[in-house]
Structure formats: structure tokens, C-alpha cells
Amino acid sequence: MRNRILNLIFTLFLLSIGIANFPVQAQQPQTDSIIYLPLIYNGIALPPPDAASQRITLPDGFRIRIFANNLTGRPRFMAIGPDGHLYVSLMSGGQVVRLPDHNQDGLADAVEIIASGISSPHGLEFYNGYLYIASGDRVQRMQGPNPSGNFASLQLVTDNIPPPTGHSSRTIHFGPDGKMYISAGSTCNICVETDPRPATIMRFNPDGSIPADNPFATDSDVRKRPVYAWGLRNSVDFLWSPNGNLWANHNGSDGLGDDLPSEEIVIPVQGNRSHGWPYCYTPGVGVVSANEVRDTRLALPSGFTCDDAVAAIFTAPAHSAPLGMEIAKPGNFPAEYNNDLYVAYHGSWNTTETNIRDCKVERVKLENGLPIGSETFATGWLEQDKSCSSPSTYGRPADVIFGVNGEMFISDDKGMRVYRVVYIGQ
């Protein structure tokens, strides 16, 4: 009883000087006599230091903590639900889980299984009362969450998606036009696809039907009807820019050495256009204003030149492996960090030791809605002289999104974690 009274007095003292905001659930360490409480900065909780905070470096004023740990099944893409909670796809575990933080202490309270038995779930998006899930060869959806947090049964939206051969991730987002966009990577490193759907971004109505204004809406090959843009070898993520344009990233092919082709971080996707692969790629690193150039390993098709392909406007060194990306939302980050693009780089697995690409989060600075340069935002997962695929690597960022309070969440499909990054000031 005496200890409880002392703890209560200490809590009231913290409240009185503005460094705690309760109610919160105390983190219980090894003994029952010590209670560690999260500090509160500008209304947002910062849990005690942990393994991630000891090794991941960030710009001054930012802090990182492990939000959820031991997430078996490769946590990949994330979404914020209408309930404000974080949802994550566990790609190899066949599950979608919810990670609530009811007490707002900056730590997930539980891992709640929302859906299971899904083949390679990846992309998640809430739209018009449904949670949409893009998986290996289909898109499904569940109505919810209802006021009790529950979801209805899974229902098929479309299976007009290429089989998960080669690049198996499928990403989903809804555009400002109310249409459902799905990206699907290629089946190979470099080849001419026989199925029209790999290496594309596809476009559907929310119920899975084909929009009448799709480029191939009435094609005799039903597989081609959803195709919106092609020549995108592996656009693991895409979004709409501050100016309302569709931007996609793109993982380039292997086999041309450490430095070619550049990873295409911002491609201004155009409907009914080729974006180069497998015949062409964007040259240079950084801000680019140039036409695509030939990949001489394949002959150009009749009537097509690299000048016909849509080039990227911002690139990164080859083998950086851009995955999830999002533009920062106001709420927690300083104004100068808002409205920039943050990209999870999965890092290289096949470069020589002198050209290892870091697994990190990169900040692409935007000005007037266009990229002007980039800098590393979060790094430290990589072990010295080891590739990102090394067993000794601490983790590999897979996705980046922002929560309802403006905090950043980073998924890690190597370390099986989700991190939370907040700004607490200098």
C-alpha cells in the first residue's frame, strides 16, 4: 500500500510539471518495485530507451522506439484504420494484424489477428467502410471495423491479378478518382512477359469491375483490361503527389553490375504509357531530366524507342531497393520535415562489398511538389561490411507511414518489428 501511495504522489508530481500525460499503462520491468513511465513531449509519448534507440540514428530532435516486436510472418505494408489503430500485413504468415495503443504510451498493447489464411497478403487500404487486402493473385476486402472493432468475413473483389511468380508483392491504393490501383511486379529479372499484367499498375472500380475509361477496357484478352500503365519492373509502392500526380517507385533489374540501372524513386506514371522496362531505364542518380536509355540485353520491339518511355524524375543508386513510401503528414514532425517524401530502402543483397547499399529510411525533399534532393533520415540497421540480407543485419525497413498524431511508423520484415519515430525537440 505504501508503495502505491508513493507511486501516486510521483505521478501527480509528473503531471504538475507537464512531463506526463495519463492515464497510461506502466511498463513493468523485471522487478515489481520499479515502474518506468513514458515521458510526454508536446502531447506525444516517448517510451524508455530500447535496443533500437541504442543503434538507429536520426536527425537531432527525433527519437525511435520499438512499437511492436516479435511479429512472426514478415511485417510488410501498413495502414491506419478509421479507428486510428495501426494495421500490418504479415506476408509470410498469411495474416493481417492490428496493433492498438489504447493507452497512448507509444507501445502496441497487443497483436490482434484481423484476418488469416491469406496467401501472401501485402498491400492494405481502408476505403468506404472496407479494409482492402492485396495478396498474391487477388484482392479481397472486409467490411469494418464496427464500433466493437470487429470485421465481417473476407469477400473476393477481383482475381484478375497475375499469379505471384517472381516478384510476388501486390500493393493497393485508391486514387483521387475513386478508382482502385494495384501494382504487380515482373515474373523475371529481364524478359518479355507473355501475361500483360506483370510489371504494371492496374486500375479497377472498388467492386473489382473494369472502369470504362481504362486504356484496354474492351480488349478481347480479359487479363489486359485492368492494365493502366506498364514497363514498371517492380513498383512496390506508389502514391499521389502534392500536385495530384501518380508517382511510383521501381526496382531496377540485376546483371549490369553495382551501378546500373539506377533505382527509380519517383516515376510520374502516365496512363496508357510504357515506363521503359525491360528495354530502357532512366540514367543518372538524383534529380533527373533526361530520356530513358537502352538496356541492350533485349532488342527493342518494332516501332518503339526509349524516347517513348516515361522517365523517372528522381533516382537512387542501383540496388537500393525502394519499397514503401509516404509523404509526411503534419502533427508531430517540424514544419520543415512535413510534406517531404520518406522511402524505406530495403538495401542491397547482391552488390560487391565496396558498394553495399544501406537499409535505411531516406528523406526525399520536395519543393513546389517536386523532388530536389535527398538525405538519410534513419540508419543503423546494417552491420559493418555486411549486406542487408546478411543474417547479422539488425533489420530491413519495408514500409513507412504516418499515424494520426503525425508520428512515423516503420515496418521491418527482417527484424520482425514495427518502430515508431517521434520528434521531441532539441
Question: In sequence order, which ranges of 25-84 are alpha helices (DSSP H)?
Answer: 51-55
Locate 352 and state its grid cell: 560487391
How confident is residue 40, by pLDDT bands cut at 50, 70 and 90? confident
Residue 376: which residues within 8 A CB-CB, separation 6 or more?
358, 360, 361, 362, 363
pLDDT tens for residues 303-328?
999 999 999 999 999 999 999 999 99
- What is the chain's mean pLDDT, rounded? 92
What local confidence, expressed as pLDDT, does residue 77 receive?
A: 98
| Interatomic CA distance for residues 143 and 253, integer angstroms | 38
pLDDT tens for residues 235-274?
999 999 999 999 999 999 999 999 999 999 999 999 999 9
335 alpha carbon, distance to own chain's centre: 22
What local confidence, expressed as pLDDT, does residue 38 receive?
A: 81
How confident is residue 15, by pLDDT bands cut at 50, 70 and 90? very low
What local confidence, expressed as pLDDT, does residue 125 receive?
A: 98
Which of 4-8, 38-42, 77-81, 263-267 is the least confident region? 4-8
pLDDT tens for residues 366-425?
999 999 999 999 999 999 889 999 999 999 999 999 999 999 999 999 999 999 999 999
How confident is residue 23, by pLDDT bands cut at 50, 70 and 90? very low
> Does residue 26 surpass a pLDDT of 60?
no
pLDDT tens for residues 76-97?
999 999 999 999 999 999 999 9
Taking a C-beta distance cutoff of 8 angstroms, is the pair 415, 390 a contact? no
Bridge partner residues of 422 (DSSP) = 63
Locate 215 and state its grid cell: 486504356
How many residues are recorded in the chain?
A: 426
What local confidence, expressed as pLDDT, does residue 354 receive?
A: 87
What local confidence, expressed as pLDDT, does residue 36 receive?
A: 63
Q: Is residue 120 classed as helix, strand or coil in its secondary structure?
A: coil
Residue 180: which residues within 8 A CB-CB, separation 6 or more?
127, 132, 139, 157, 172, 174, 203, 204, 205, 206, 208
Question: Which backbone phi and psi does 268 adopt, to 5 degrees?
Answer: -75, 90
Residue 19: which residues within 8 A CB-CB, separation 6 or more?
39, 40
